[in-house]
Structure 1
């Protein structure tokens, strides 16, 4: 019979419970979707900001999220406030 130390089990369960929170998208707005820019408006703003080769454009929680390339050709995952188009989080490789 295998016996597990209670502290090890508790630490493992805490790590597993925290994992989804680490991957969650940021909070971009509390405004209802009726106040958001349309996807077409946001895509235009994204292009004006210099992002190109947009592979993914989607709603993620309370954000618009894209996967694209920067002006410098670097890969980027960017979260935008869908009401005003501001960058909330920018992850560049």
Structure 2
């Protein structure tokens, strides 16, 4: 019973850490907004990688895209708004 509780706690902590890493907890870029791509351009670049974008927004100097991947799974992507490079995901 104790081992199960410890294992569950470890999984929850790992998941929380991954979520924090994925959502970055920090900006994706320090470049000025004048150097950012448009939201449409970011979306197009992500779609060219095989994702189907359902919703996209810019938040805290990071593009947040809610997508469906090639396998049909939902994936939240965090992208650098200057390059549309994926820098994290959930």
TM-score, with length taken from structure 2: 0.69
* More helix as a share of residues: 2
Moved over 4 A (4+): none
Residue of structure 2 equivalent to 1:34: 34
Q: Report the aligned-residue RMSD.
A: 1.9
Structure 1: unaligned runs, 5 residues or longer: 1-21
TM-score, with length taken from structure 1: 0.67
Within 5 Å, give how 1:1-93 maps onto structure 2: 22=20, 25-26=23-24, 27-52=27-52, 54-91=53-90
Q: Secondary structure at the match of 1:78?
A: strand
The 3 A distance-change label for structure 1 pair 79 and 28 is same
